[in-house]
Amino acid sequence: MEINKTNKFKNFFKRYGVIALAGVFVVAIALTIAFTAVDRGSEVTTNTLQFEEPMNNAVVLKDYSDTELQYNSVLNRWEAHLGIDFTSEDTSVLSVLEGTVTSVTNNSLEGYVVEITHSDGFVSVYSSLDANVLVAEGDTVAKGQQIGNASNTATNEFTEGNQLHFCLLKDGVEVDPNNYLDLQNK
């Protein structure tokens, strides 16, 4: 008699097992949707940062390149160029976004350097400024505020004349400034 009950049980699952599994699957999907549902009535907003150009009427001397090496004639070597070099008749250098000045330094290769920390993990770095830097560490700056003037204090690129070497970092990693600045006609 016991063997007969086992056969009936097997026959039941042979006939209806797929339907039972499908039912379990539908219940699992329904529970997943119920637990992850978002209030569809609330408005979703995104804050897109609008970056200012670091110089007015600037021309790009040397573009960003992290994959193709560029020759640096001053240092006599091939290297990645993890920033954009700008020049302009107006040498004013402007903050690309509001933020806080986190450092003002001077070194022989990059000249006078200003680093500004912005929201959303962005940091902008302005190199080859002249000695008359207009901001100090801890200052809060507005978007478009002048922070200094482009010069040739960066000895690693002094043959370029008065220029700004501009770098942008996102969460501590260099990123291509072209993805954030409107440089279509530069």
pLDDT in tens, 124-178: 999 999 999 999 999 999 999 999 999 988 765 656 678 999 999 999 999 999 9
DSSP one-letter string for 20-62? HHHHHHHHHHHHHHHHH---TTSPP------PPPSSTT-EEEE
Backbone phi, psi, residue 103, to 5°: -165, 150
Q: In sequence order, what are the beta bridge partners of 186?
A: none
Dist. CA 145–CA 97, nearest whole Å: 9
Q: What topology is assigned to 59-179 in CATH? A: Glucose Permease (Domain IIA) (2.70.70)
pLDDT in tens, 163-178: 999 999 999 999 999 9
Q: Quick check: 147 and 103 in contact, CB under 8 A?
A: no
Q: What pLDDT, on the 0 to 100 scale, is given for residue 71? A: 76
In terms of average pLDDT, the best of 53-67, 73-87, 99-113 is 99-113
Question: What is the mean predicted confidence (pLDDT) over 59-72?
Answer: 83
Dist. CA 99–CA 55, nearest whole Å: 17
Domain ranges of the chain: 1-45, 59-179
